[in-house]
Structure 1
Amino acid sequence: MSLERIGIYAGNGILPVKVAENIVKSNKKVFIIAIKGLTDRNIEKFPHQWIRFGQIGLAMKLLKKNNCKKLVIIGGAKIPNFFFLFPDFFGLKLFFSLFTIRKRGDAEIIKTIISYIENKVEIEIVGADNFLEEILMTKGNLTNTYIKSSNINDIDLAIKTCLEIGNSDTGQACIISNGKAIIVEDINGTDFMLYKAIKEKNREISGGFLIKMPKPIQDNRVDLPTVGLNTLKLINELGLDGIVLEDKKAFLVDKEKMIEYANQKNLFIYGI
């Protein structure tokens, strides 16, 4: 039998590549399921197979064939979409499992997919955080600019707001300014919320911060909050003071560039 590999179901962005690189650095084998028109082509330097949307059955067969006992699901796409576009037979069966919860949010759908893969296919889902420790958020300040006392005072409100929208499975983030929750994330994501806030900017926003936390109802092995340089640029354009993230529960894509930019613009990146 071939050596055991760790599988990666790769969405878009650079994180699937980073996961693969770190798996290889740890002297483990990797095999990547890449989605046509979505996954970064840099994954081609690793063992991989390109499939189209919806071919979840083929994906599982390939993972089994390559002796993948564990699977990392990582990338920027909304995972449920993979199963609704031209599904193969396995994808169709999964579709019927999801049909009864179709009106719920991403967290419930993703948990159903995880359960199906682990129980029906017998492949264990593992969190990408196991392989991306260097870009995980840590507690305290990451930047030269420290969080203001007024922002510290608003953190309880921020956490409460995130818990409320998280429990309703609508989003992971919100903007807090001057003791008020200004806007909350919906299914369109964090950057969409920030663009909307910039477009509709009002006098209530003067300083403040973006906070992003996992939903209380989600499985943290998939879809941990992710922020990048563009997020910081939007925060700066909006006039916020910085960003608050949960310790060990958020990824900072291009972490060094984010810290450099934050220092240039006097923004804080703070872990709670």
Structure 2
Amino acid sequence: METPNVAFANHNSAIDEGRVGIIAGQGDLPLTLAETLKNRGEMPFLLLVKGEADPEKYTDYPHEIIPITKIGKFLKALKREECRRVTMVGPVARPDFKNLFPDFEGLKLLGRITSAVSKGDDGLMRAITAFVEEKGFKIVGAHEIAQELLSTQGTLGANHPNEGDLKDINKGIAVIQALGEFDIGQAVIVRDEYVLGIEAAEGTENLIKRCATHKFEYPAGVLVKLSKPGQDLRADMPTVGPDTVRQAINANLRGIAIEAEASQIVDRDETIRLADEAGLFLLGTVVPR
């Protein structure tokens, strides 16, 4: 199965739409996005969520560190830096509401957050996204301003899934879609059509670690990761990268399947290289909606 060539849109029009503000949470994707924009001639401004994004990674970029509940500071910084487009990248842990000290804007948002996070994993980011948008900023997804991060359709790398793997992938897709209405996780691990684990609040990394206890002498399952039905991809698009592959290797998995055109790959070349060396397949699969 070959990966088709994908033509990406010209980015010059995006530059004319104003500076990009990146609200950065956990993981490597915020930095990858910043590097992509910088290499294209744009210098984004980063708002690092305190306790989530690692400031040491962003020393080469203009940034400010702000607690998640100080939304007024977020808004002032975005306005000061003339960021008309805003993207939220990287997961953010649910806050401890017993220890929250919001600013005035954060206080107005607090009621929404409290209600939203009780409804599932995506609630926090959706609430913040809607609030920021109401203040006059254009919310965009990382995939909308850096389409080169998107997974393409087909096998990515040298290794291919076999017939059994494809059955496991289809089972994983069905499980995630069935649980979508409950807003539970983006990932599942399936072996011989038996579900070893479903991602919940712990995230994909800890799902893989948990399923590593089911390792066998031969490869023990396939990781399937895709968006839930109705998920706002502007705030939380499924993402894999080199760390995902390393975790899959440690758990003795056979491969990783992600949704084509609706998932992002951090450091694509290194991700594929690691998978190829380990004999893992990477597959961008079309998901019926």
Q: TM-score range by the shorter chain?
A: 0.7 to 0.9
2:198 counterpart of 1:189: no
Q: How does 1:61-80 map to 2 (within 5 A)?
A: 61-78=76-93, 80=94
Match of 1:236 among 234, 249, 257: 249
CA deviations 1:130-152 (Å, max 9, x no partner) are 34433321111112111101112
2:275 counterpart of 1:258: no
> Hey, what does 1:112 align to over in structure 2?
127
8 Å Cα contact 1:10-1:39 kept in structure 2: no
Instruction: Kindly provide the amino acid, as one letter, of the partner of residue 256 in structure 2.
Output: I
Q: Aligned partners of 1:82 and 1:138: how far apart in 2? A: 38
- Alpha-carbon deviation of 1:185? 0.7
Q: How does 1:51-90 map to 2 (within 5 A)?
A: 51-78=66-93, 80-81=94-95, 85-90=100-105
> Hey, what does 2:225 align to over in structure 1?
212
- CA RMSD for the aligned pairs? 2.5
> Hey, what does 1:245 align to over in structure 2?
258
Match of 1:92 among 107, 112, 120: 107
- Alpha-carbon deviation of 1:265? 1.4
Instruction: Kindly provide the amino acid, as one letter, of the partner of residue 143 in structure 2.
Output: D
2:45 counterpart of 1:31: yes
Number of residue-to-residue matches in the alignment:
267
Instruction: Kindly provide the amino acid, as one letter, of the partner of residue 24 in structure 1.
Output: K
8 Å Cα contact 2:46-2:61 kept in structure 1: yes
Q: How does 1:117-132 map to 2 (within 5 A)?
A: 117-119=132-134, 121-132=135-146
SS of 2:44's equivalent in the other structure is: strand
When residues 263 and 22 of structure 1 are mapped into structure 2, their CA distance, relative to the original with a 3 A threshold, is: closer
| Length-normalised TM-score, structure 2 | 0.83
SS of 1:8's equivalent in the other structure is: strand
8 Å Cα contact 1:22-1:131 kept in structure 2: no
Q: Aligned partners of 2:272 and 2:21: how far apart in 1? A: 31
SS of 2:59's equivalent in the other structure is: helix
Unaligned runs of at least 5 residues, structure 1: none
SS of 1:81's equivalent in the other structure is: coil
Q: Aligned partners of 2:246 and 2:39: how far apart in 1? A: 32
Runs of 4+ in 1 over 4 A off after TM superposition: none
CA deviations 1:144-196 (Å, max 9, x no partner) are 11110111233322211011233211200001111222211111111111111
Q: Which moved more, 1:156-165 or 1:82-91?
A: 82-91
When residues 210 and 67 of structure 1 are mapped into structure 2, their CA distance, relative to the original with a 3 A threshold, is: same
2:36 counterpart of 1:22: yes
8 Å Cα contact 1:74-1:128 kept in structure 2: yes
When residues 223 and 259 of structure 1 are mapped into structure 2, their CA distance, relative to the original with a 3 A threshold, is: same
8 Å Cα contact 2:177-2:228 kept in structure 1: yes
> Hey, what does 2:9 align to over in structure 1?
none
Q: Aligned partners of 2:228 and 2:180: how far apart in 1? A: 4
When residues 82 and 88 of structure 1 are mapped into structure 2, their CA distance, relative to the original with a 3 A threshold, is: farther
> Hey, what does 2:190 align to over in structure 1?
176
SS of 2:249's equivalent in the other structure is: helix
